[in-house]
Chain A
Amino acid sequence: MKIHRLVLAACASILAACSNVAVVEHGDALVSDRLSVQIDQPWNRFENSAAGPIPTWTREGFTVDALQFFVAVKDGKPIAPARDKAKPMIFRDGMQAHEIVSLFENFYTQDGSTFRLDRLAPDSFLDGDGFRFEFTRLRKRDDVRLSGVGWAAVSGGELTAIVFTAPRIHFFGAEIGEVERLAGSARLR
């Protein structure tokens, strides 16, 4: 019930996404046909979101908590379409972790929001070498302070990342444990 109401709320704000919403229950879920993750509890799942054609999952509505998947981005391709005439956020095989984080930094500041890197360190992801980054984003639209965490790895020349953002107060802390488990279970097919 709760979920349905929330989905409706999200739909009211982003009409275009409505037709694509689905609820992911639990167990094994496949994102963009390539990335499998294990989930403990249901998520509302949007194939497209206000942020662009990026699969986005949420509990409370994706203007609140948003789990975004950037799956198997090939060399020379953008991680997401850039708005207007902004610089395309192109992934290149061979990029250092910092350079990959810069792509996400661009992605999350396109609307005038700020991005501050709080931590960047090696971490295991997709059952191999990757990295974890943490950041704070001040969202321009509503002045909300969001905490963010992301995992990324390059495998077979393709970049895959999962990024979670939520308001620092309450939501982030409430969901981070589950998100960490989910990210830890991610495997590329």
Chain B
Amino acid sequence: MIDRRGLLSFGCAQCAVLAGGKAFAQAAEWLAPPRFQRPPLDTDEGGLWAFMDREEKRLRRSPFRMGDKALRDYLQGIACRLGADHCPDIRVYALRTPWFNASMAPNGMMQVWSGLMLRVDNEAQLASVIGHEIGHYLQRHAVERLRDAHSRSAFGMVLNIALGGVGALAQLALLAGQFGFTRDQEREADRIGVILMSKAGYDPHEAARVWANLRAEAMASGEDPAKRSVLFATHPDSGEREKTLAELASGRTGETGLEAWRTRIDPHLLMLLEDELHRGQFAETLVLLERLIGRDGENGRLLFARGEAYRLRAGEGDVGQAIANLEKAATLADAPAVVHRSLGLALQGEGAGERAVQAYRRYIELSPEGPDVEMIKTYIQGLQRS
């Protein structure tokens, strides 16, 4: 009925690719509007807010919400730094979802997905996305879209579906899709994002790097990025957008907040990497990991993830790469215990029985209460018999 995967891709960060062109390249000055009042419920805008309030209520309790208070406060802090006077009206939710996306609803609810958090190099890059979303909010783009005659009928349909009780996230995605922003709105949000970043003391050059990084990942899958993903499919000018963002940033400087970001995201890194591996897009994941290893150095979790990407892809020559990465990860303190299990599986697949037994034993030693110890013991018995 609703193909959620397709719809999910319609979030805001995706439409952000639309922006580009020279219209706002001059970065003319722009003044933020005063804080918004809650619109009356009997107006179209009031209805939209009420719909989003309901969604937010669900989001607040969602098990996918990342609960770490330090991270929450930190994200809220960035939004406040960028949103200034509007800070009390903006609420940021970190969601565990392995795709690159962020979105902001007209009632002030902002979502930042974990797939985005895994992919930004530093705080300034994160701020560029949050600033872009705040740009949509301050210019009330969603309301503009709602009033567009074409969208209005779509909104009615969405509302009907919502009342019919379809999965709540699907509703939201559907809504985001129906009210996908226009190219001009995206350009405007981009321009405001850079102004807000700059005002807040971030280096606005980082905005363009977000998209350069994403493009590098898409290229790695060996396909034309324009055809590769929804992110790029409808927006052939992503390169142009990157260029425009760089132009907007020129002459401005600021901080990147590299250490601040690494400190915040580090406690979540392993979980985010495991979720990333579930996407099964190993070529992209390997490019991402290369970049993260470049940033953080070779730590046990990153090498574990790289080993897993090779092991699970199981293409030509991959098993060797998997073993090399997992073996090295296994010597590093921050690698999870399962690194030994993965190493055992890779070695056993290669016919290196004795070394596999050693790895399995190490795994059992480190997690004697592991959920799969019985199974591992049968592998060991099987290898010792042969």
Q: Give the B-binding residues of A (Cβ under 8 A).
A: 13-15, 50, 82-87, 94, 96-99, 102, 105-106, 109-112, 114-115, 117-122, 131, 134, 138, 140-143, 145
Contact = CB atoms under 8 A, between A and B. Distances in A.
A114 B279 contact: no
Interface in B219-233: 221, 228
Contacts of B241: none
A97 B282 CA distance: 22
Interface string B70-92: 00000000000000000000000
A74 to B, nearest CB: 17
A115 B371 CA distance: 14
Contact of A112 (B97, B280, B348, B375): B97
A149 to B, nearest CB: 13
B170 interface: yes
A56 to B, nearest CB: 16
Interface stretch (B58-66, B131-139, B147-155): B58-66
B275 A114 contact: yes
Contacts of A85: 221, 228, 281
Interface string B304-341: 00000000110000000000000000000000000001
Interface in B147-181: 167-170
Nearest to B6: A84
B278 A106 contact: yes
Given A111-B4, A112-B98, A138-B63, A105 B375 contact: no
Contacts of B170: 141
B24 interface: no
Contacts of B99: 112
B5 A121 contact: no
Given A99-B345, A138-B63, A143-B64, A111 B5 contact: yes
Highest count of chain A CB atoms <10 Å: which of B1, B228, B379 = B1
A115 to B, nearest CB: 7
B43 to A, nearest CB: 30
Contact of A96 (B63, B169, B379): B379
B374 interface: yes
Given A15-B1, A98-B372, A122-B378, A86 B279 contact: yes
Contacts of B169: 140-142
Interface in B372-386: 372, 374-375, 378-379
B96 interface: yes
B61 to A, nearest CB: 8
Contact of A117 (B221, B313, B372): B372
A120 B1 contact: no
Contacts of A50: 1
Contacts of A145: 63
A86 B221 CA distance: 11
Contact of A131 (B5, B63, B349, B375): B375
Given A84-B5, A119-B371, A141 B167 contact: yes
4 closest A-B pairs by CB: A87-B280, A120-B372, A141-B167, A121-B374
B375 A102 contact: no
Contact of B281 (A86, A105, A111, A140): A86
A122 B97 CA distance: 32
Interface in B9-49: none
B345 A98 contact: yes
A106 B62 CA distance: 22
Contact of B280 (A14, A82, A94): A82
Contact of B375 (A14, A98, A114, A140): A98
Given A96-B348, A120-B371, A142-B168, A13 B97 contact: no
B8 interface: yes
Given A86-B280, A99-B345, A121-B375, A142 B167 contact: yes
A112 B63 contact: no
Given A96-B349, A122-B374, A142-B167, 6 more contacts: A97-B375, A105-B278, A112-B99, A119-B371, A120-B375, A145-B63
B64 A138 contact: yes
Contacts of A13: 1
A109 B278 contact: yes
Highest count of chain A CB atoms <10 Å: which of B168, B169, B228 = B169
A140 B64 contact: yes
